[in-house]
Amino acid sequence: MPRYTPPSHAASEITPRALFDSRRAFIRSAGLGSIALAAGALGLGRAASALAAQKFGALERSPFSTDEKQTPYKDVTNYNNFYEFGTDKREPAQSAQSLRLRPWTVTLDGLVARPRTLDIDSILRLAPLEERIYRMRCVEGWSMVVPWLGIPLAALLKQVEPLGSARYVEFQSLHDPAQMPATRLRVLDWPYTEGLRLDEAMHPLTIMALGLYGEELPRQNGAPLRLVVPWKYGYKGAKSIVRIRFVEREPATSWMRAGPSEYGFYSNVNPGVDHPRWSQATERRLGEFLKRKTLMFNGYAEQVGQLYAGMDLRRNF
């Protein structure tokens, strides 16, 4: 297999300027230099394997799965966007080892009849865990095929009986500077928040992922649970979630606040709507050299296209 070459954008073009300029200051202030050296001595492959210690048994494969070649585990677990642990894609696999995964609870509240707080093990029991092999596409132009292990998000949301006035769902990630050193710098408006329309959240393709490649979710990939919405750009997939809130109005997300002209609420994969600083017409899959054409809704148009019937997708990007 050809060696993966990162997308040919300059780093300052891929990452918003404030984040790019702050990276060196972050390393100095958070003391990640020594952490990186220690992780380097262990080897990233070994570190990634240690993070995903619990293996699951045989799992049913979802009919929504693609039969495309899966991205190698080492690429999926060592090339990540998780800004709470650093703005360089190689940093999370090193610095996320500080994240404590137990105990872990998720609060579901807002416009619901039965607000609840569930621990991670209770969530695992809500629905049968299944394998979902999904295409994933990041806004920077790289993509992958990941065998997620998860449950339909709808199974979790139904536990609290959303009210008729609930039209959107807001997701909030953990904010703990002691465990997440990059949050000491205001590169984003912490805690990280994302949102979906309620019908998007309840769609059968939308899952709460708790693992990948037959193992518990590694820390750098959003452990212990993260949102996966395969027809949207990757930053919509909030990681290390601690709160899910039902609201009436469209929530302001972290990336919308950081760059409203660049990051819209819907963030559907759309080759016809470019990012202001680069084209979205093509992508490069991790582990491959040549680019390929970007598919509308990341190849899931048949399943989700009706959600946006009549909408101007250039305006509602």
Closest CA to 46 of 117, 97, 120: 97
Can you tell me the distance from the alpha carbon of 22 to that of 36, in angstroms, rounded to the nearest whole number?
17
pLDDT digits 0-9 by tens, 275-304: 999 999 999 999 899 999 999 999 999 999
Q: Is residue 4 part of a domain?
A: no
Q: Is residue 6 part of a domain?
A: no
Query: Which of 180 and 185 is assigned the larger pLDDT?
Result: 180
- What does the pLDDT read at residue 115? 98
pTM: 0.84
Amino acid at 125: R
Q: How many CB atoms lie within 10 A of CB 303?
A: 15
Q: Is residue 316 part of a domain?
A: no
Closest CA to 208 of 139, 268, 123, 136: 123
Can you tell me the distance from the alpha carbon of 209 to that of 227, in angstroms, rounded to the nearest whole number?
6
Mean pLDDT, the chain, integer? 86
Q: Is residue 3 part of a domain?
A: no
- Kindly tell me if the per-residue pLDDT of 35 is higher than 80: no
- Kindly tell me if the per-residue pLDDT of 257 is higher than 60: yes
Can you tell me the distance from the alpha carbon of 124 to that of 126, in angstroms, rounded to the nearest whole number?
6
Listed in sequence order, the residues at least 6 apart from 235 whose beta carbon sits closer than 8 Å to its beta carbon are 81, 138, 139, 194, 255, 263, 267
Place of tokens 């707080």: 117
Q: Is residue 30 part of a domain?
A: yes
- Kindly tell me if the per-residue pLDDT of 248 is higher than 70: yes
pLDDT digits 0-9 by tens, 47-81: 343 444 578 888 889 999 999 999 999 999 999 99
Phi first, then psi, for residue 83 (nearest 5°) are -65, -20
Q: Is residue 1 part of a domain?
A: no
Phi-psi region of 213 (alpha: psi -120 to 50; beta: other; left: phi over 0): left
pLDDT digits 0-9 by tens, 101-114: 999 999 999 999 99
Q: Is residue 16 part of a domain?
A: yes
Domain of residue 280 covers 11-306
Listed in sequence order, the residues at least 6 apart from 233 whose beta carbon sits closer than 8 Å to its beta carbon are 137, 138, 139, 267, 268, 269
- What does the pLDDT read at residue 53? 52
Q: What is the CATH number of the domain that holds 272?
A: 3.90.420.10
Q: Is residue 152 part of a domain?
A: yes
- Kindly tell me if the per-residue pLDDT of 171 is higher than 80: yes
Listed in sequence order, the residues at least 6 apart from 58 whose beta carbon sits closer than 8 Å to its beta carbon are none
309 with 205: CB under 8 angstroms?
no
As a whole-number percent, the residues of the chain with pLDDT over 70 amount to 83
pLDDT digits 0-9 by tens, 112-163: 999 999 999 999 999 999 999 999 999 999 999 999 999 999 999 999 999 9
> Domains in the chain: how many in total?
1
